[in-house]
Structure 1
Amino acid sequence: MFLDGKEETSFLPKTLKFFHRASFYCSYLRYFDFVIETYNNFPHSSGIASSASSMSALALCIMEMEKKFYSSLKEESFFLRKASFLSRLGSGSACRSIYPGLVVWGYHKSIKGSNNFYAIPYPYKIHPIFQNISDTILIVDKNPKKILSSKGHKLMNNHPYVKDRIKSANKNMIKLISILKTGDFRKFGELIEHEALTLHAMIMTSRPYFLWIKPNTLHIIYTIWEFRIQSKKNIYFTLDAGANVHLLYPIQERKYIIKWIYNNLFSYCEKIIESFVHK
């Protein structure tokens, strides 16, 4: 494996495990040797889903191979479903990265077609305000995390609060369906912030307990809260399993907000990555 042109042996164990699991569903993989050359425009293992991007890319490559072997494989929906299923064997988040736009992974009684084995495109009405969302990523710490996401997930198995956490997540999904339909960005933002803080609260109360967030993560959060009260702007944060911060806001407000971000938050982070979510 090569990352940005340099051999990267630290990725091999996880990748080999992924290929081993995938070979049960794609037996032809056992007859090949692979050289993987990859690159990324953001730091890996730092809590902004680098494993999701890598495993979903690998799954799509495998399915492109399968399409060449089986001429009957022409249905795009099956192609994407199986790619999502395979990528989940390497990273849960990866199964959502197969599709553009809003995606659902995990069975929920209120979402038709949802299941635990692969992700699906969100099947219901989406208000136009959510079809173009700016996502500005603040890299607070680009170093690999001391506790990787996979280990963090394992700590949830015996967590005393995990059952209530699952109930809360399901209730929030019901709320989100309504929010996505009506276009209430404030309620959307409050919900994603609550979800992000709940995730980190679970990690802080696990055994062993630890913190993914850094002091500058908290500086950013408090600064956003103060700015939102003063400006009435729709800017909200979310956190993955790490110290880095995603800022989500409507693309219509981007010109004003992006200027404010560089003027007020740049000092708290090592790098700013500008992106957007487009359906």
Structure 2
Amino acid sequence: MATMTQQWQASMPANIALIKYMGKRPGQHAINASLSYTLEQYLTTVTLTLANATSFRQPNTWPKPAQKRFISHLNYLKSTFSISEHFTIDSSNNFPSDCGLASSASSFAALTQCFFNFMASHDRQSHSTTPESIAYHSSKGSGSSGRSFFKPWGVWEADTFRSANLPYDNLNHRLIMIDNQPKRVSSSEAHQRVRTSSHYQKRAARANERFNELTQEISNKNWDNVRAIAWDEFQDMHALFHTSQPPFSYFQPHTIQCLDLLKDSLINDKNGPVITMDAGCNIHLLFKKASHSEPYLDMLHHCCKDII
């Protein structure tokens, strides 16, 4: 007799940090507070199917080390909650890989939420199922994934995650794609290499100060100051890369060209975007209204591969 396939599924969004974390202590403890905006339109969907052995069935766009890390996180969850079942993992994004969106955040959040859905269906709920608790467990696979459980703003401090009750809850996000190739220096490697920078020692203090300033300026709806702080923050993070020993950079010629064009908007356009970058060459823009983005798309299209 045929048996019914048992499956559980979850979809979780990406997020973009305006206050970054770069450098971490063992156990995924961030050295500073970070603040992110959740990008609800960019989703990773994970399906867990009960199986005889744990395996990964995502199309071959994921390198083997990434697949191993994903399975390792599932094994962490199984061990933590004394689960003996095995699963086949399917994972897919509704956005391109290596486009500058941190798919590790959405994918590990989706895997963790999917695992908790499985436990709920089997009445194994002697543990906390609050978003804060699930986010904590998700962060053991990818620190930034913990922020994806909160919207529109997520906060990560030490090993805790929470929502931030802030305005600007419907920002329009555009991604300026300079390149869609895998990074030569992974984010995980960057976390280690920045420790050799002469700017690293006081990095946490600078980031925490900006965190406090930014949350205050967002609360006050002071858009000009929000934009200025976000600009200074990502420049500070990239300065760590440029001053590491040996130095490295994610900036490409077209990254610099686009940033030069965008920098004028900080002074000359009151409706201009928040500008930020992660550890990569692509640029993220957040606008108060979608209509405000049109002049920028026209201005930037010639110096990038695509605008998403």
For normalisation by structure 2, the TM-score amounts to: 0.75
What letter is aligned with 1:216? H
What letter is aligned with 2:156? W
Unaligned runs of 5+ in 1: 107-115, 274-279
Whether 1:86 aligns to 2:137 is: yes
Deviation of the 1:70 alpha carbon:
2.8
Aligned residue-pair number: 252
Question: Are the equivalent residues in 1 in contact too, given 2:147–2:162 (CA < 8 A)?
Answer: yes
Residue pairs, 1:222-233, within 5 angstroms: 222-233=260-271
1:245 maps to 283
Residue pairs, 1:250-269, within 5 angstroms: 250-251=288-289, 254-255=290-291, 257-269=292-304
Whether 1:204 aligns to 2:242 is: yes
The structure in which a higher percent of residues are helix is 1
Question: Are the equivalent residues in 2 in contact too, given 1:84–1:94 (CA < 8 A)?
Answer: yes
The secondary structure found in structure 1 opposite 2:285 is strand
1:98 maps to 149
Residue pairs, 1:121-270, within 5 angstroms: 121-122=163-164, 124=165, 126-127=166-167, 130-251=168-289, 254-255=290-291, 257-270=292-305
What letter is aligned with 1:65? F
Whether 1:32 aligns to 2:70 is: no
Alignment partners' CA distance in 1, 2:264 and 2:181: 28
The secondary structure found in structure 2 opposite 1:14 is helix
Question: Are the equivalent residues in 2 in contact too, given 1:224–1:236 (CA < 8 A)?
Answer: no
Residues 212/64 of structure 1: CA separation in 2 closer, same or farther (3 Å cut): same
Deviation of the 1:188 alpha carbon:
0.4
The structure in which a higher percent of residues are strand is 2
Alignment partners' CA distance in 1, 2:198 and 2:123: 48
Aligned match for 1:118, one of 134, 137, 160 = 160
Deviation of the 1:7 alpha carbon:
7.1
Alignment partners' CA distance in 2, 1:209 and 1:45: 22
Alignment partners' CA distance in 2, 1:209 and 1:196: 17
Question: Are the equivalent residues in 1 in contact too, given 2:172–2:287 (CA < 8 A)?
Answer: yes
Deviation of the 1:158 alpha carbon:
4.5
Alignment partners' CA distance in 1, 2:136 and 2:253: 37
The secondary structure found in structure 2 opposite 1:207 is coil
Query: 1:105-154 CA deviation, whole Å, 9 max, x = no partner?
Result: 01xxxxxxxxx2231111x4x23xx1221111111111110111011111
Question: Are the equivalent residues in 2 in contact too, given 1:135–1:246 (CA < 8 A)?
Answer: yes
Deviation of the 1:24 alpha carbon:
3.6
Could you tell me the percent identity over the aligned residues?
24
Alignment partners' CA distance in 2, 1:156 and 1:181: 31
What letter is aligned with 2:131? L
What letter is aligned with 1:219? Q
Question: Are the equivalent residues in 1 in contact too, given 2:195–2:244 (CA < 8 A)?
Answer: no
Alignment partners' CA distance in 2, 1:230 and 1:249: 15
Unaligned runs of 5+ in 2: 1-55
